[in-house]
Amino acid sequence: MIHVFGHKVPDTDATCSAIAYAYLLRQTGKDAKAFRLGELNKETKLVLERFGIEEPPLLENAAGKDVWLMDHNEFEQSADGIEEANIVGVIDHHKIKFSYGKPITYIALPWGSSSTIVAKLFEIYGVEIPKEIAGCLLSAILSDTVIFKSPTTTDVDKEIAEKLAKIAGVEDIKAWGIEMFKAKSSIAEKSAREIVLNDYKVYEFDGKKFLINQVEVIDDSEVLQRKEEILEEMKRIKEEQGLFAVLTMVTDIMKEGTTLLVVADDYEPIEKAFSKKVEGGAIWLPGVMSRKKQIVPPLEKVFQ
Ligand code: MG
Ligand code: MG
Ligand code: MG
């Protein structure tokens, strides 16, 4: 059986692309099942609830299993035991940091979500998309493209989202998107630690480890009034995990910009990457919505 799963700290795209692709594999005669690599966030739970889909089971370890990686390709972001797994394929929309000892199926397109690619594959295989899966894929596109506001959005994402919305019976795409983001951004009852580890990925630039987290909110004031507490927690996590830096992107999807909270051994390379000084532990970055397109590349460049 092929175990299909997205990255650790699962988001809606990682989860829905896995659910949909496992279904497509089964329709094409393969034995496949979707899994998750961690606790689902509130947004993803809302999506699965709305469209009546069960949560995929947790995969503890991938060693010795046939696996299909969705929405990621870096082993650091993948399942424990991935080095001893048999990778059958990858479907992803991130930068490629992958090499493997034998030929496999690797589908990468620079589209707004992995779910957009999966929806396209249904078309290519001539498999009808069930209503609930269409709803799941649509929601993942809205999540990853921040309701089409992120610079990662392509025309294909919009076009496919329209089609999926019709199948899923979602009349007002934007209204649904905002409802999803509200679910995700209700942080009032979250601890500072939960905020910092909300949606994070760990990167290595020239041997220096960065934990980069993103919180997407409708109104950033709720998070920013807890800035000092959050910075303290970031410092703690940096020490605990022996990191070079912990960054928290507080992305306001209405203002269309990000307040980047920064804790680092050395601020200079980070200030250089964004051509701005860190003031009070933060840098305001107007127009910045995407970690992979607007935060990771400038950092990578500075450390090259
Ligand atoms: Mg993802
Ligand atoms: Mg994605
Ligand atoms: Mg995201």
**Tens digits of per-residue pLDDT, 251-303?**
999 999 999 999 999 999 999 999 999 999 999 999 999 999 999 999 999 99
Q: How many angstroms is it from 296 CA to the middle of ligand 1?
A: 14
Closest ligand to C-alpha of residue 150 is: 3
202 and 144 belong to one structural domain:
no
| 299 and 272 within one domain | yes
186 has pLDDT over 80: no
Q: What is the per-residue pLDDT across 46-70, written as a single tens digit (0 to 9) for each?
A: 999 999 999 999 999 999 999 999 9
Residues 88 and 132 in one domain: yes
Instruction: Note whether 212 and 129 are same-domain residues.
Output: no
Q: What is the dihedral of CA 20, 26, 30, 32, to 10 degrees?
A: 50
Compute the distance from residue 120 Cα to the ligand 2 centre, in Å.
Answer: 15
Number of domains in the chain: 2
Q: Which helix (H) or strand (E) holds 258?
A: strand 257-264
* Separation between Cα atoms, residue 180 and residue 202, nearest integer Å: 25
Ligand 1 center to residue 7 CA distance, Å? Answer: 7
Q: Do 88 and 61 fall within a single domain?
A: yes
Torsion of Cα atoms, 183 then 189 then 194 then 195, to 10°:
70
For residue 15, give the ligand nearest its CA. 1
Is 29 within the bounds of a domain?
A: yes
Record the pTM.
Answer: 0.89
Residues 110 and 251 in one domain: no
Cα 115 to ligand 1 centroid, rounded to whole Å: 10
What is the C-alpha separation between 39 and 52, in angstroms, rounded? 18
User: Which residues, in sequence order, are CB contacts of 60 under 8 Å at separation 6+?
Assistant: 80
Statement to judge: residues 20 and 113 lie in one domain: yes
The reply to whether 187 falls in a domain is no
- What distance in angstroms lies between residue 32's CA and the mean position of ligand 2's atoms? 21
- 61 and 162 inside one domain: yes
- Boundary residue ending a domain (126, 156, 182): 182
- Please tell me whether residues 12 and 157 are part of one structural domain: yes
Q: How far apart are CA 296 and CA 273, in angstroms?
A: 10
- Judgement on whether residues 109 and 128 belong to the same structural domain of the protein: yes
233 is a domain residue: yes
Whether 292 is in a domain gets the answer yes
163-178 pLDDT per residue, tens: 999 999 999 999 999 9
Q: What is the pLDDT of residue 198?
A: 86
- Whether 187 shows a pLDDT value over 90: the answer reads no
Q: Which ligand has the nearest atom to the CA of 10?
A: 1
Task: Give me ligand 3 centre to Cα 200, in Å.
Answer: 9
For residues 244 and 284, give the distance between their C-alpha atoms in angstroms, rounded to a whole number: 21
Beta strand residue intervals within 163-300, DSSP E: 200-205, 208-217, 245-252, 257-264, 282-286
Give the number of other Cβ atoms within 10 Å of residue 268's Cβ.
Answer: 10
Which residues are bridge partners to 108 per DSSP?
92
Poorest-pLDDT segment among 24-28, 32-36, 221-225, 227-231: 221-225
Given 151, 182, 213, the domain boundary residue is 182
Question: How many angstroms separate the alpha carbon of residue 74 from the centre of ligand 2?
Answer: 13
Summarize pLDDT for 22-44 with one digit per residue, the tens: 999 999 999 999 999 999 999 99
Instruction: Decide which of 182, 210, 238 is a domain's last residue.
Output: 182
Q: Is residue 129 part of a domain?
A: yes
How many Å lie between the centroid of ligand 2 and the Cα of residue 96? 13
End-to-end alpha carbon distance in the chain: 41
Q: Supply the range of the domain harboring residue 272.
A: 192-303
For residue 203, how far is its CA from the centre of ligand 1 (angstroms)? 14
* Residue 255 CA, ligand 1 centroid: distance in Å: 22
Decide if 11 is inside a domain: yes
Q: Any idea what the CATH number is for the domain that residue 23 is in?
A: 3.90.1640.10
Please indicate, yes or no, whether residues 22 and 83 belong to a single structural domain of this protein: yes
- Shortest-distance ligand to the CA of residue 6: 1
Residue 139 domain-assigned?
Answer: yes
d(CA 56, CA 15): 8
